[in-house]
Amino acid sequence: MGSTNSTLSKIPNAGDLMQETGFSPAHIVRLYDRYKALDKDKKGHLCPQDFGAIKELAMNPIKQVCQEVLDFPSFVRILAHFRPVDKNRPKDPNSPEHINSRSNKLKFIFQLYDQDKDGKISRQELLQVLRTMLEKQVTEEQLESIADRTIQEADLDRDDAISFDEFRKSMEKVNIEHKMSIRFLR
């Protein structure tokens, strides 16, 4: 464990990050290594081009996950959303919710849909995501009707858009904690 600690000391604000995200030192170190590897020209932050360089990611329909310039803490925070929920971790009533809580996970997905950040998933935005996710054989009309129907299901106030509350309600039965978690981040 000695080597781990020595690397950990090099990472700025490692302690705070661990506190905030709940990652273990080993995770932080591993993520830091990855971060360094992605940041090819050592500019100290990650930009969309760096993510574009990941071959598998380029094929992923949801590329827009990381469109902003990220420094290491925000990089860790994004990944922290996908940490499995652990029951043992004490929940301090005063502190804000854990970053990997259910509603934070939901918020993360919601923000992926909500590109213009107006707090609503509009038909256009949904269509955009659907278009990238569905296979090519689905025609544009079919896409539109799928989008219409999806909105219909969630849209409670009939404004042709899904607000976060509506989104959360429609996902009530889905086990987000399990589905939005990656095993190796535990």
Partner 1 sequence: MAPYSQLSFLLTVLLIFGALCVTSKVQIQSSSERQSASSNTGSTGESTSNSSASITTVPIVTWKWHHVETPYLVALWILVCWLCKLMAQLNSKLKSFFPESALLIISGFILGGIVWGADKAQTFKLVPRNFFYFLLPQIILDTGYFMPNKLFFSNLGAILVHAVIGTCWNAAAVGISLWGCYLGGAMGNLQIGLLQFLLFGSLLAAVDPVAVIAVFEEVHVNEVLFIWVFGESLLNDGVTVVLYNVFDAFVSLGGEKINAGEIIKGIVSFFVVAFGGSLIGVVFAILISLLTKYTGKVQIIEAGFIFVLGYLSYLTAEMLSLSAILSVTFCGVCCQKYVNANMDEKSVTAVRYAMKVFANGSETMIFVFLGVTAIDTDIWVWNTGFILLTLLFVLVYRFMGVFFLTWILNRYRLVPIELIDQIVMSFGGLRGAVAYGLAASLDETRIKEKNLMITTTLIVVYFTVILQGLTMKPLVKWLKVKRVSPTELKLIEKVNNRAFEHILAAMEDISGRIGDNWWTRGWKRFEDTYITWFLMKPEARKNRDYLFSIFHKLNLEDAINYVTEAEKRGSLAFLNQTDGTIVNFEKKLRFSGVMPDIMSELDFGNNNVQPTSVIQDTVPSVSLNIHEHEMKRMNEDFNAHHLLQQHLYRSRKNHRHKYSRSNFSINQSEDEVQEIFQRTMRSRLESFKSAKMGVTPAKKITKHPKKDPNHKMSNGKTTDKSKKHPYGDEDFEFSEADSAYSGDGGATGGSSQRRGTYTMGAGVENPAFMPEMDTPPPPWVTEAEADTSVAPSQGAQRYLPWSPRNLHRLAPLRISDRSTDSFLMADAPATEESSEESPQQPSQRDGTHM
Binding site for partner 1 (CB under 8 A): 30-31, 34, 37-38, 51, 54, 56-57, 60-63, 65-66, 78-79, 82, 84, 109, 112-113, 129-130, 133-135, 137-138, 141-142, 145-146, 148-150, 153-154, 170-171, 173-174, 178-186
Nearest distance in Å: CB 15, partner 1: 21
Nearer to partner 1, 94 or 137 (CB): 137
What is the crossing angle of helices 140-154 and 123-133, to 10°? 130
Nearer to partner 1, 43 or 179 (CB): 179
Nearest distance in Å: CB 1, partner 1: 20
Q: Which residue is it, tokens 């781990």?
A: 4
∠ at Cα 143 (55, 147), nearest 5°? 105
Nearest distance in Å: CB 152, partner 1: 8
Nearest distance in Å: CB 184, partner 1: 6
Nearer to partner 1, 92 or 172 (CB): 172
Nearer to partner 1, 43 or 174 (CB): 174
Please say whether the beta carbons of 147 and 127 come within 8 A. Answer: yes
Nearest distance in Å: CB 69, partner 1: 15
CA-to-CA separations, 58 to 12, 45, 182, in angstroms, rounded: 30, 20, 20
Which residues does residue 46 pair with via DSSP β-bridges, in sequence order? 70
Q: How many Cα atoms within 13 Å fall on the side-chain side of residue 182?
A: 9
How far the first Cα of the chain sits from its last, in Å, is 19
**Hey, what are 49's tokens?**
């081009």
Nearest distance in Å: CB 109, partner 1: 6
Taking alpha carbons only, the member of 80, 66, 67, 64 closest to residue 31 is 80
Nearer to partner 1, 91 or 184 (CB): 184
Nearer to partner 1, 92 or 149 (CB): 149
